[in-house]
Structure 1
């Protein structure tokens, strides 16, 4: 049976447009995704960049209000920027009004501030603390697996580190990721006690019908914790395609059955642009590399450029983003579905989540529409 498809939206700001319009576009896309039969609609958390998803919990509430049945969630809340109580109370508030529709996705990105500060202070000529072993790009079962991206190639950590500082109160320290996930789980379940043994109850939040998810791009802490906890897991092929195999394997190896999930439940992400034919899709995706380069240069995601006027990438720029270019799913509906099917078969994913960025919002709507039709979403029963 064909597996469900879901949507991850980044609320990108196109060159010449505004964050306000980007948010309206996100609401519009969510409504179309629901009509087309997509199972979930997730939004990301990014700060100090030209993507408008800086406040995902607020946006999730607005999307839930504008839709009727599609599951809505975070992909993912950056826990290093939030307390456990604030996360549970915020999602509990939305669930109180739109019960049983929320996915609370949790990620480690916000816990990396110390690493970013250290990297920002490191001389440009200093070697990376953990050298990455380079390997050649390979194709497994029709899926491109490039070398893992080496974070040492990032050109400038300064803005990342400054952004982390701005998102925390002076002197504040993030809890260890595993401990914070447990706190959130306990607050939802009503079993939380403080270090002094005081029972605390989140109102709203306790008892909310919210599904916890963990997100990860490697076979490390997130994948293993999701497995040990019997939670569903989202593996980020679109962010880190070179590590997808080890990420999936680590989750499955660590998995222990839970009451809700007797077996692993895996979602895998993919960057997708679909058009009526391959040539048109390649044209629409032509400025994707520029956007990824703006992130890896350290400036943060820039406005998404018009492919009709964007200059070609230089050789040095293309080298920095090559892994993301060769793993983007671009083409006519049949072309993309063939590649997505290969990704699903290689990873054994129970569901795929699609993220798509184009300069023109109508092209993005059309991409999701064409993919839904080719995938046969109207005939898919979601898990």
Structure 2
């Protein structure tokens, strides 16, 4: 049986457009996704860059209000930027008005990596290996964060998100706090019971997100939570990421078996050549992120020059793992990804310069995938 498809949206700002229009496009895409049969609509969290999804909780509330039944959520709340109670109360407020539709996805923020570096702990280098194709899925060498050309802007942005003197909690500790607040058994260090109102007892599904087989994947498994593995961000680590989650999994009351969602970056058009043209500035956009400048406005493929060869080496893993083509060719590649990873669900993210092309990409894929016949787990 065909598995469900969901949507991850970044609210990208196209060249010549505005954040206001990007957010309106996101609301429209959510409505379209619901009509097309997509199961979930998730939004990301990014700051100080040319994508408009900087306040995901606010945006989730607006999407919930603009739709009727599709699940909405975060992919993911960056925990280093928020207190546990602020997350639970904000999502609890939305759930109080739109019950039973919220996915609270949690992810690690860059602050924890900065703390390790400041403490003198060097990053662990990824193993060097060539690109391979496993059962039709491209698995490139893992991207090493140290390859970024300049981290000055990234560090400044992360610092600006913290109050002076504040320190992010250890990731596992904060996940446990949020879980306790949702379940109503949170006690502070002095033994005082505290209750999130709204939030406690809400019908919110908790998710963890990860791009490696490390802490996030293993914690999701130990807690018996559903897990989202980021092929679109870190294609080189997808196999070990899902294997780590499954090997650590312990059944919970809500989830007696592992549940894995795998992401993919997708552009679909009526034919391969049209799709390739629409996706031709994707490399420019990824380069803006990895160079350290931060996500730039998404360039128009009709006017942008080709990506210089000297830039491609920094983004080749993302270009070669983007699913671009006709509905049939993209569906074939997505099926291969699902079979390799054993994903219970796939979530697609799609960026094009023109909003109409992005809506059409989702429409064509939904029709090819047969979403009207899919029943999500």
- When normalised by structure 1's length, the TM-score is 0.96
Residue correspondences, number: 376
How far residue 113 of structure 1 moved from its aligned partner, in angstroms, is: 5.5
Distance 2:60 2:126 in 1: 37
Distance 1:117 1:15 in 2: 35
Distance 1:223 1:288 in 2: 28
Distance 1:14 1:113 in 2: 30
How far residue 152 of structure 1 moved from its aligned partner, in angstroms, is: 1.4
SS across alignment from 1:204: coil
Which range moved further: 106-115 or 184-193?
Answer: 106-115
**Aligned counterpart, 1:191:** 185
Distance 1:189 1:163 in 2: 33
1:50-199 alignment to 2 at 5 Å? 50-112=50-112, 114-115=114-115, 118=118, 129-199=123-193
**Aligned counterpart, 1:354:** 348
Distance 1:60 1:309 in 2: 34
Distance 2:89 2:111 in 1: 21
Q: Structure 1, residues 303-337: CA drift from partner, whole Å, max 9, x if none?
A: 00001111111122100000000000000000000
RMSD between aligned residues: 1.3
Q: Structure 1, residues 41-77: CA drift from partner, whole Å, max 9, x if none?
A: 0000000000000000000000000000000000000
How far residue 261 of structure 1 moved from its aligned partner, in angstroms, is: 0.7
**Aligned counterpart, 2:34:** 34
Distance 1:77 1:186 in 2: 17
SS across alignment from 1:211: strand
Matched, 1:372 2:366: yes
Matched, 1:342 2:336: yes
Q: Structure 1, residues 236-265: CA drift from partner, whole Å, max 9, x if none?
A: 000000000000000000000001111000
**Aligned counterpart, 2:204:** 210
How far residue 117 of structure 1 moved from its aligned partner, in angstroms, is: 7.0
Distance 1:320 1:116 in 2: 24
- When normalised by structure 2's length, the TM-score is 0.98
Matched, 1:321 2:321: no
1:296-311 alignment to 2 at 5 Å? 296-311=290-305
CA contact (8 A) 1:111 1:177 kept: no
CA contact (8 A) 1:113 1:161 kept: no
How far residue 115 of structure 1 moved from its aligned partner, in angstroms, is: 4.9
Given candidates 242, 246, 254, the residue that maps to 2:248 is 254
Distance 2:16 2:224 in 1: 45
**Aligned counterpart, 1:267:** 261
SS across alignment from 1:109: coil
Distance 2:111 2:71 in 1: 27
Distance 2:136 2:128 in 1: 21
Cα 1:321–1:204 change in 2 (3 A) is same
**Aligned counterpart, 2:376:** 382
SS across alignment from 1:199: coil
How far residue 382 of structure 1 moved from its aligned partner, in angstroms, is: 1.0
CA contact (8 A) 1:116 1:160 kept: no
How far residue 110 of structure 1 moved from its aligned partner, in angstroms, is: 4.3
**Aligned counterpart, 1:287:** 281
